[in-house]
Structure 1
Amino acid sequence: MAKRPTTPPPVPAADAPRPARKSGRPTSAKPPRPRAAKAAAAEQPAPAAAPGPAPEPPQSTEPSPGPAFAFPGEEQRQMIETLSLNLAKAAMTAQSAIAEAALAQADRPAALSPDPFNVGPAMTQVMTGLASRPDKLFAAQADLFNRYMDLWASTTRRAAGEEVSAPPSKDKRFKDPAWSENPMFDVMRQSYLATADWMNGLVSSVEDIDPRTKRRAEFFTKLLTDAFSPSNFLASNPVALKALAETNGESLVKGMQNFAADMERGAGKLKISQADYGRFEVGVNVATAPGQVVWRDELFELIQFDPATDKQRATPLLIFPPWINKFYILDLQPENSMIRWLSSQGFTVFVCSWVNPDVDKAGYGFDDYLQKGIYRAVEKALEQSRADHINTVGYCIGGTLMGAALAHMAEHGDDRVTANTFFAAQHDFAEAGDLLLFTDDHWLNEIEQQMDAAGGVLPGAAMADTFNALRANDLIWSFFVSNYLMGKDPPAFDLLFWNADQTRMPKKLHMDYLRSMYGQNALSQGQFEIGGIHADLSKIRIPLYFQASREDHIAPMNSVYRSARAFRNADVTLTLAGSGHIAGVVNPPSAKKYQHWINPALPDTLGEWQAGAEEHPGSWWNHWAEWLHARSGDWIPARDPNKGPLPAIEPAPGSYVKVKS
Structure 2
Amino acid sequence: MQQPYDPLSIWRAMADHAAGVTPDALMKVQADAAREWGDFWLSAWGLKPAAQAPRDRRFAAKEWSEDPYYRTLRDAYLLASKQAKAAAALGSGKDASGKAMVGFVLDQFLNALSPANFAATNPDVVARTMETGGQNLVQGFGNLMQDVVEGKGIVRRRPDKHFVKGETIAATPGEVVFQNLLFQLIQYTPTTADVAATPLLYVPPLVNKYYMIDLQPKSSLVKWLVDQGRTVFVISWINPDERHRGCGVEQYVLDGIVEAIGAARAAADADKVDLFAFCLGGTLVSVALAWLQAKGRAGEVASATLIGSMVDFADMRDWSAFVNEAHLDALDTHLAKRGYIESTELQQLFAAVRANDLIWSSVIAHYLLDKPAPASDLLYWFEDGARIPQEFLRSYNRDLLFANALKNPNGFAVGGVAIDLATVTTPILLLALKDDHVSAWEAVYSGAALFGGEVTFVLGGSGHNAGVINPPAANKHGFWTRDGDRPTDAADWLVGATKNDGSWWPWWTRWLDAHDAARVPARAPKNGLEPAPGSYVAIAH
Q: TM-score, normalised by structure 1?
A: 0.79
| 1:470 paired residue among 353, 367, 378 | 353
State the match for 2:106 in structure 1: 221
- What is the one-letter code of the residue matched to 2:56? D
SS of alignment partner, residue 534 of structure 2 = coil
Question: Closer, same or farther in 2 for the Cα pair 1:364/1:458, shift >3 Å?
Answer: same
Q: 2:317 matched to 1:428? A: no
Residue pair 2:273, 2:301 contacting (<8 A) in 1 also: yes
Q: 1:100-139 residue pairs with structure 2 within 5 A? A: 109=1, 111=3, 116=7, 118-130=9-21, 133-139=22-28
Q: Distance in 2 between matches of 1:542 and 1:215?
A: 35
Per-residue CA deviations over 1:470-529 (Å, capped at 9, x if unaligned) read 111111111111211111112211100000000001100111101111101001212011
Q: State the identity %.
A: 36
Q: Distance in 2 between matches of 1:120 and 1:278?
A: 43
State the match for 2:177 in structure 1: 294
SS of alignment partner, residue 570 of structure 1 = coil
Q: 2:534 matched to 1:657? A: no
Q: Distance in 1 between matches of 2:214 and 2:152?
A: 31
Question: Closer, same or farther in 2 for the Cα pair 1:616/1:205, shift >3 Å?
Answer: same
Q: Distance in 1 between matches of 2:161 and 2:148?
A: 17
- What is the one-letter code of the residue matched to 1:195? A
- What is the one-letter code of the residue matched to 2:537? V
SS of alignment partner, residue 221 of structure 1 = helix
Structure 1 position 217, deviation (Å): 1.2
Q: Distance in 1 between matches of 2:439 and 2:2?
A: 33
Instruction: Tell me the C-alpha RMSD between the 2 structures.
Output: 1.8
Residue pair 2:100, 2:319 contacting (<8 A) in 1 also: no
Q: Distance in 2 between matches of 1:110 and 1:536?
A: 37
- What is the one-letter code of the residue matched to 2:189? D
State the match for 1:350 in structure 2: 233
State the match for 1:325 in structure 2: 208
Q: Distance in 1 between matches of 2:73 and 2:108?
A: 19
State the match for 2:129 in structure 1: 244
Question: Closer, same or farther in 2 for the Cα pair 1:557/1:111, shift >3 Å?
Answer: closer
Tell which deviates more after alignment, 350-359 or 173-182: 173-182
State the match for 1:543 in structure 2: 427
- What is the one-letter code of the residue matched to 2:456? T
- What is the one-letter code of the residue matched to 2:27? F
Q: 2:23 matched to 1:141? A: no
Residue pair 2:17, 2:93 contacting (<8 A) in 1 also: no
State the match for 2:442 in structure 1: 558
Q: 1:2-401 residue pairs with structure 2 within 5 A? A: 109=1, 111=3, 116=7, 118-130=9-21, 133-155=22-44, 157-158=45-46, 165-207=50-92, 209-264=94-149, 267-274=150-157, 276=159, 279-401=162-284
Count of residues in Structure 1 that have an aligned counterpart in Structure 2: 538
Structure 1 position 185, deviation (Å): 2.9
Q: Distance in 2 between matches of 1:166 and 1:412?
A: 62
Structure 1 position 127, deviation (Å): 2.0
Residue pair 1:118, 1:442 contacting (<8 A) in 2 also: yes
Q: Distance in 1 between matches of 2:122 and 2:379?
A: 25
Q: Distance in 2 between matches of 1:435 and 1:172?
A: 23
Q: 1:476-625 residue pairs with structure 2 within 5 A? A: 476-526=359-409, 527-567=411-451, 569-600=452-483, 601-625=485-509
Q: Distance in 1 between matches of 2:454 and 2:3?
A: 49
Structure 1 position 144, deviation (Å): 1.9
Structure 1 position 352, deviation (Å): 0.9
Q: Distance in 1 between matches of 2:519 and 2:497?
A: 33
Residue pair 1:456, 1:506 contacting (<8 A) in 2 also: yes
Question: Closer, same or farther in 2 for the Cα pair 1:430/1:201, shift >3 Å?
Answer: same
Residue pair 2:195, 2:522 contacting (<8 A) in 1 also: yes
Structure 1 position 291, deviation (Å): 0.4
Q: Distance in 2 between matches of 1:259 and 1:147?
A: 38
State the match for 1:447 in structure 2: 331
Q: Distance in 1 between matches of 2:179 and 2:84?
A: 54
Structure 1: runs of 5+ lacking an equivalent: 1-108
Per-residue CA deviations over 1:242-272 (Å, capped at 9, x if unaligned) read 21112111221232232223223xx234421
Q: Distance in 1 between matches of 2:431 and 2:168?
A: 28
Structure 2: runs of 5+ lacking an equivalent: none
- What is the one-letter code of the residue matched to 1:230? P
The structure that has the greater radius of gyration is: 1
Q: Distance in 1 between matches of 2:4 and 2:100?
A: 24
Residue pair 1:550, 1:578 contacting (<8 A) in 2 also: yes
Structure 1 position 175, deviation (Å): 2.2
Per-residue CA deviations over 1:416-460 (Å, capped at 9, x if unaligned) read 11211111111111112221211111111222222224x110101
Structure 1 position 128, deviation (Å): 1.6
Question: Closer, same or farther in 2 for the Cα pair 1:609/1:111, shift >3 Å?
Answer: closer
SS of alignment partner, residue 660 of structure 1 = coil
